[in-house]
Structure 1
Amino acid sequence: MGDIPGILPAVTIAIPLLASVLILITGRYENLRESVTIVAAVAMLGTVLAMLPSVLQGNRITLLIIPMVPGGDFALKVDAFGMVFALTGAVLWLLNSLYAIGYMRGLKEHAQTRFFFCMAVAIAAAIGIAFSANLLTLFVFYEILTIITYPLVVHIETPEAMRAGRKYLAYLLVGGIFLLAAVILTYLLTGTTAFVPGGFLEGTGSPVVLQILFLLFMVGFVKAAWMPLHAWLPAAMIAPTPVSAFLHAVAVVTAGVFGIVRIAGWVYGMDLMAALGLGTLLAVIASFTIIVASLFALTEDNLKRRLAYSTVSQLSYILLGVSMLSIAGMTGAMAHIPIHAFLKITLFFVAGAIIVSAGKESISDMKGLFQKMPVTVLMFSAAGIGICGLPPLAGIISKIYLAIGAVEGGVPILLIVIIVSAVLNASYFFPIIYTMIVEKPEKEDALHDVSEPPLTMLVPIILTATISLLIFFFPTMPFLDLIGIAVAEITGGMIP
């Protein structure tokens, strides 16, 4: 076990970049253009899966791309934690691409070539973040992801969309400035930006300096959407639903929480985090966000905005797990990344299917949808139940680890946060399910033209829900196996 050289990390990133060029070339021929997207998604998933066995053996696949400065080369490294993000992203890009074809055609959206081009570049940036060997490389891909997703957010080009896009850029670009400052300060303190399991900052600066540095990183990773730096995410729901799904499950917000976990485990280390009191800081931020965002979700009648506030809340479960500074807590934090991704993308897929098939966005207008869209509504119900942490969907797995981590880490008050949050989750999901299944439309003919969405949309909905079910029954294959390796790396060999 150890570092082994390999070119597959670069190939994985190059595939969607090449596809983006071909998408532009074939843009006038939509069947060919979309075939390029699907073929590229399958190929990228194939290269990720090709690296999986080696990573599961404890190896890290490395590749130096551009020598720059000692400790700050532009380089890639595929480790177990990066593979969790990359595998999740690769599977969901394929399913989201298939779904997007049905959605964009169903609504006859404009600028579809631009849409698929930006999606391809964005997934390349997300995989680059997952495979970054150091802070400098991560920063480059992180900022590419910000820029390339802006056209997706403003896709419909209405005044409201343009306002949302300005807010999106303002938050994320200012966050990028803080992240760059954090990277530079880290390099000045240590002479390196390379990720090291267990961290490398201990003894390099005064406690105050290292605490300030952590705050810079936290603001820098504003994509994690922790409160009060969250307003950009609900505003971005003006974008087409495949973009919303991509932001919440595949790339953007996942990149934010991924970065914070990286900093905690591979820059600071759990012992230094505890010594500096950073676990307490994270616990306060996460607890506040989890509860308050859930309360905001309760007030939203627009389905996509309610799901957006749910994401703000659910992402902070990951921060909460990190704050526990325990093996079970860190395991729960990492596990929640793919688990939340598959559940939340199912919910967004259904929201988009309802827009295409029924033309409805407000929950209060969705009475009786089960009569016409039974499969779609059942998939939403299953994913909603999973987000609440109820079996047999995967959401319960990460929440059990987080509950154990709260006790293991000596912070049982965080267990109360998890329980209260679960009640709030049920409070904003169960009424939606009740409205769709039990309530009757106010007018008898209100749903006469409504039916299940096209198969290109329905199949991804079923698959993402099914994967969430399979993770519940087979959690170790491969996600918990990968997470076990990652946690062992940063805790000195202690396997959860």
Structure 2
Amino acid sequence: MTAEAIMLLAIALPLAAMLPIALTGAMPNLREAVTLATAVGLFLVVLQLLPVAMAGGQPEIALFDILPGVPFAFRLEPLGMIFAFVASLLWIVNSIYSIGYMRGNDESHQTRFYVCFAFAIGSTMGIALAGNMLTLFIFYEMLTLSTYPLVTHKGSDAAKRAGRTYLGILISTSICFLLLGIIWTWTLTGTLDFTAGGILAGKADGPLVGLLFLLYMYGIGKAALMPMHRWLPAAMVAPTPVSALLHAVAVVKAGVFTVVKVVVYVFGVEYLTALPASQWVMWIACFTILAASLIALRQDNLKRRLAYSTISQLSYVVLAALILSPLSVMGAALHIAAHAFGKITLFFAAGSIYTAAHKTEISQLDGIGWRMPVTMGAFAIGSLSMIGLPPTAGFISKWFMLQGAWQTENLLALAVIAGSTLLNAAYFLPIVYAAFFRKEKHDGDHHEHGEAPLPIVLALGATAGLSVLMFLFPGDAIALAEALVGRSG
């Protein structure tokens, strides 16, 4: 099978699985077997693209023209390979986790959940492998629509309000800002292809190019730059596997992935160095990192603290891309994977605590580490990754960010990364300390418990292990990040 056919199969496989998942809804074991088999199959398909990407291959395929000079096209490049690999791998783990969580909490509409999840993963593969900005936009919108039923899954008034916020912000930003920016780019250049060094150099200059850059940055609402961030904490009303999808596997990663693609392949790193608007956006990213961290410090609800942590961590990627150093761009690419492994572990742990102990607040977690040692041990590993400490993947990506900031003498970025690291420690380490070193509070009927169901424990143990493995064996990820920089001009 050719690399081009494999790319199309990676997109088609999860979308095609929606029908058999729906048809087996009355047989939960079979429905979940289909989901797991599809997830494993997708990962094996994506894995076949890794040697091609590592060898420098960039297979591409154009199916038909959407606009003159703008085909519906797909192309494999290093950043897309990282994203597709991480998303396909974590779908397997999230599916295992979902079985334990959805059954353990007797959630309703489980078939709809698995169908929409497959739809979201198929959309994610389309984003990762898109060959131009318009193809990416189509799958970007599909991802928003496919995750809306997941956000509103519980059907409560709070879930419906969260869904309106989620859909309202993401659709309005993408239609009003991102699509406008894409059309404007096409009128200036006659193309929307992802091109080494960008497509705008020599085609446009002056203050209006700064406005175009702002349209892209705020049109990519999934990157959650303030003030376009409210959809993310609102969506925490969804079940924990959905939170993991939003924060680690697909949605926010699609946002920061698109930011890096725009920086590297639409504007170009060299072109952006002379663009004042890129500095403005860097300041906004710095503000988002610090403000979201300070808000996280005040949250007692565990999932809300994790949500604001995500907002902060996403802006690490934006900041790293806009430092406009080869090393910092590598850090941005690596953080897409590092954050995915660390944050999904933290959300899995939050869901494990809820399932086994029915606790949702940080103030309720004193001593819980002795009843749930695997869960809280994994939570500790995820926390270290968010802080950026070894032996976790977060150290690798943050190291490249700091090197890039030092290389460009960007004192603001250095100060923000250092300050936010301390804030990360301030809102994660007390949770770990309380879990293992404070006396347990006996506050009702739920203190006599152990770990959550086995699928949950296996899943969160696996993702914590992945974070450590990326630290110990970062070679392939760093090679792909280097290839991204080498092809960015």
Which category describes the TM-score, using the shorter chain as reference length? over 0.9
After TM superposition, give the deviation of residue 446 of structure 1 in Å. Answer: 5.9
Distance 2:222 2:200 in 1: 24
Instruction: Quote how far apart the aligned CAs of 1:308 are.
Output: 0.3
Letter of the 1:111 partner, please give it: H
- Out of 98, 101, 106, the residue aligned to residue 100 of structure 1 is 98
Residue 47 of structure 1: aligned partner: 45
- Distance across 1 between alignment mates of 2:477 and 2:72: 27
CA contact (8 A) 2:218 2:225 kept: no
Deviates more, 1:211-220 or 1:85-94: 211-220
1:103-122 deviation digits (Å, cap 9, x = unpaired) = 00000000000000000000
1:243-264 deviation digits (Å, cap 9, x = unpaired): 0000000110000111110000
Contact in 1 for aligned 2:244/2:344 (Cα 8 Å): yes
State the partner residue of 1:135.
133
Q: Which amino acid aligns with 1:363?
A: I
**How far 1:69 sits from its partner (Å)?**
3.1
Any gaps of 5 or more consecutive residues in structure 1? 492-496
Q: Would the alpha carbon gap of residues 5 and 385 (structure 1) be closer, same or farther in structure 2, given more than 3 Å must change?
A: closer
Counterpart selection for 1:149 from 147, 150, 156: 147
The sequence identity of aligned pairs, in percent, is: 46
Separation (CA, whole Å) in 2 of partners of 1:254 and 1:444: 38
Task: Report the counterpart of residue 483 of structure 2 in structure 1.
Answer: 485
Give the Cα–Cα distance (whole angstroms) in 1 for the partners of residues 30 and 138 of structure 2.
Answer: 31
What amino acid does structure 2 have at the position aligned with 1:393? Answer: T
What residue identity is the alignment partner of 2:213? F
Q: Could you give the per-residue CA deviations for residues 349-369 of structure 1, whole angstroms, max 9, x where no partner exists?
A: 000001100001001111111
Which deviations, in whole Å up to 9, do the C-alpha atoms of 1:78-121 show, x marking residues without a partner? 11110010000000111001100110000000000000000000
Q: Is the 8 A contact 1:115 1:152 kept in 2?
A: yes
Residue 76 of structure 1 corresponds to 74
What's the RMSD between the two structures over aligned residues? 1.2
Amino acid in the other structure paired with 1:371: W
2:351 matches 1:339:
no
Residues 3 and 49 in structure 2, CA contact (< 8 A), matched pair in contact too: no
Closer/same/farther in 2, CA of residues 5 and 49 from structure 1, 3 Å limit: closer
Secondary structure class of the residue paired with 1:338: helix
The question of 1:87 aligning with 2:85 is answered: yes
1:397 aligns with 2:408: no
- Gap runs ≥5 in structure 2: none
Contact preservation (8 Å) 1:103, 1:457: yes
Matches of 1:402 and 1:158, distance apart in 2: 42
Quote how far apart the aligned CAs of 1:67 are: 2.9
What is the distance in 2 between the residues matched to 1:36 and 1:63? 29
Whole-angstrom distance in 2 between the partners of 1:131 and 1:480: 19
> What's the counterpart of residue 235 of structure 1?
234
Runs of 4+ aligned structure 1 residues displaced above 6 Å come to none
- 2:190 is aligned to 191
1:114-133 alignment, distance < 5 Å: 114-133=112-131
Q: Distance in 2 between matches of 1:241 and 1:376?
A: 14
Q: Distance in 1 between matches of 2:184 and 2:30?
A: 47
Say whether residues 1:110 and 2:108 are aligned partners: yes
Partner of 2:20: 22
1:494 matched to which residue of 2? none
Give the 5 Å matches for 1:341-490.
341-443=340-442, 448-476=447-475, 478-490=476-488
Residue pairs, 1:289-300, within 5 angstroms = 289-300=288-299
Contact kept, 8 Å, 1:71 with 1:194, in 2: the verdict is no
Aligned partners of 1:456, 1:325: CA distance in 2, in Å? 42
Q: SS of the counterpart of 1:68? A: strand
In 1: Cα distance, 2:313 partner to 2:10 partner: 29
Take 2:6 and 2:219, find their aligned partners in 1: how far apart are those partners? 29
Q: Structure 1 CA distance, aligned partners of 2:218 and 2:14?
A: 29
- SS for the counterpart of 1:90 is helix
Do the aligned residues in 2 keep the contact of 1:279 with 1:325 (CA within 8 Å)?
no
Amino acid corresponding to residue 5 of structure 2 in structure 1: I
Deviation per CA, 1:151-171, whole angstroms, max 9, x where unpaired? 000100111111010000110
> CA shift at 1:407, angstroms?
1.3
Q: Whole-Å Cα distance in 1 between the matches of residues 81 and 335 of structure 2? A: 14
Specify the SS of the correspondent of 2:155: coil
Aligned residues, how many?
A: 487
- TM-score normalised by structure 2 residue count: 0.98
Deviation at 1:479, TM superposition (A): 1.1
* TM-aligned CA deviation for residue 410 of structure 1: 2.4
In structure 2, give the amino acid aligned to 1:170: G
Contact 2:211 2:277 (8 Å CA) reproduced? no
Tell me, in whole angstroms, the C-alpha distance in 2 between the residues paired with 1:286 and 1:260: 12
**Offset, 1:337:** 0.4
Distance (whole Å) between structure 1 residues aligned to residue 405 and residue 364 of structure 2: 40
> SS of the counterpart of 1:64?
strand
| Contact 1:248–1:344, Cα closer than 8 Å, also in 2 | yes
Deviations 1:427-472 (A, max 9, x none): 0001111121111223287654311111111111111111110111
2-side partners of 1:25 and 1:242: how far apart? 22
